[in-house]
Every structure is written in structure tokens, then in C-alpha cells.
A and B are shown apart, each in its own frame.
Chain A
């Protein structure tokens, strides 16, 4: 067994030995991935996993490095990028991925990508034309 394999086993034992905990976190992420376009909050996510919201918050951050809310926003932004790249309008993309208002969508989109949704769409169209 190599040094790296031994380290994998050691770290896994130290950090991820609680199987039930791991299952709770992974199923929460899967739920967010499958329902990102719906209204989701920590109360609801903890309710469906039979756990306290503070416990779930800590666990999720420990495993994924993000809070469930941050993960949900990242997921929605990534999904909105696909819609924008395929030519969908900014407002329609905003609602389809689950954001409540175009202004909060634009602000979050810009803070994550450095571009507003419409700037992102223009840039993506420009690249498409150049590649074709």
C-alpha cells in the first residue's frame, strides 16, 4: 500500500467514519440538486432529514465547504448559465432556476461570475459565433 493510500484510509477514518452522517449530508445535496427550482430553506431540508437545522448546517459545511444556502445559489447560478447559453431570456431563466426576483438574480449572478446575466449571455453568444 502506498503512502497516499494509507493517508486516504487514515483521513477517512478520522473525518468520515460516521456513515449515517455522511448519508444525511449526501441525501440533502441530492435533494437540493433535484429541487433547486423550488422554494427551499434550511427548516424544510432539516425537517425531511429528521435532523436539527443547526446540525445540518454544520454537517453540510463540513462535507461540502458551503452552507446549504450557498450550495443552492451556486447550483441555481450554474443552471441559469446553461439556460442563458441556450438563448433563454434573463427574466425567464431567473424564475426557472428558482430565484424570486430578477434583481436578486442579477446581483448574485454578477457576484459569482463577474458579469450580469445579459453580459454573460452576450459573451457566450460571441464565443459561439467565433467557434462556428
Chain B
């Protein structure tokens, strides 16, 4: 058994692809058309092209409870996923220049440093590094 795909619920798959590739720097891995305009759309980190994929799951658009859950997490400021980075501070500076909105600025939690940003697709994402 392997971990291959991590689902992130998104309100719009095109916007998600744009944000995750153009701002975060991920690359598209699979883009398979399905029904009603939905796609099996995944991206990977350029540092791990064969690593786990992020799937843009269009659930909030098609399933009301998913939309409610996504909004509740967002309103509480709770991230729906976490990515590892080499330097939270450097990513914070880089992404802020790209107009990415942070809800939690770089913050130390024991031996971890974290920050949280808005992915513009209905989610908050946490970046983290061990210090």
C-alpha cells in the first residue's frame, strides 16, 4: 500500500491549477477529462516528480456537505493540508511578493516553524519546516 494522492477540495479546478503551478511552483501530472466538465487533475512538486500527487477535487461544487465543511475549516482558519518547505521565511517573502495572502505569518512552534496562506480556491494551506 502506498500514499499516491492527497485530495484538496477546490471550487474551481482551472483556478486551482493556475494558483498551484504559477504561485506555488508545482507542475501538472495528470489531466483526464471526466463528466460535467470535471477532470482528474493532479499536480506534483518539481522536487518529487514521482512523489505524492495533489488532486484538485471539485467536491465543493458538486456536493453541498463538502462545501459546508470546506467553508467551516476556512472560517476557523484551519489549514486543509500542509507542505514541507526548506525555509518558511523565504517562502513567506516569495509568496507575499506574488500577492499571496497569509493568515498566519511565520511562527515558531517548538522545533517547527509554520505559516498559513489562502490558496484562493477555498482553502488555507500550511507550510512548515523543522528548525
Contact = CB atoms under 8 A, between A and B. Distances in A.
Interface of A: 2-5, 8, 11-12, 15-16, 22, 25-26, 29, 63-64, 127, 131
Given A5-B104, A29-B130, A64-B130, A22 B76 contact: no
Given A64-B130, A127-B50, A131-B49, A4 B79 contact: yes
Given A16-B109, A63-B111, A2 B130 contact: no
Interface of B: 49-50, 75-79, 103-104, 107-111, 114, 116, 124, 130-131
A97 B77 CA distance: 42
Contact of A4 (B49, B110, B111, B116): B116
Contact of A3 (B77, B104, B114): B77
Contacts of B50: 127
B77 A26 contact: no
A4 B76 contact: yes
Nearest to B107: A8
B131 to A, nearest CB: 6
8 contacts: A4-B76, A4-B79, A5-B103, A5-B104, A12-B109, A15-B110, A29-B111, A63-B111
Contacts of A16: 108-110
Contacts, number: 46
A22 B108 CA distance: 10
A127 B76 CA distance: 42
A8 B104 contact: yes
Q: In this complex, which of A2, A12, A29 has the most chain B Cβ atoms within 10 angstroms of its Cβ?
A: A2
Contacts of A3: 76-78
Nearest to B75: A2
Given A3-B76, A64-B130, 4 more contacts: A15-B110, A16-B108, A25-B111, A127-B50
Contact of B77 (A4, A11, A12): A4
A131 B48 CA distance: 12
Contacts of A127: 50
A22 B110 contact: yes
A22 B116 CA distance: 22
A5 B78 CA distance: 9
Contacts of B114: 8
A2 B77 contact: yes
Contacts of B76: 2-4
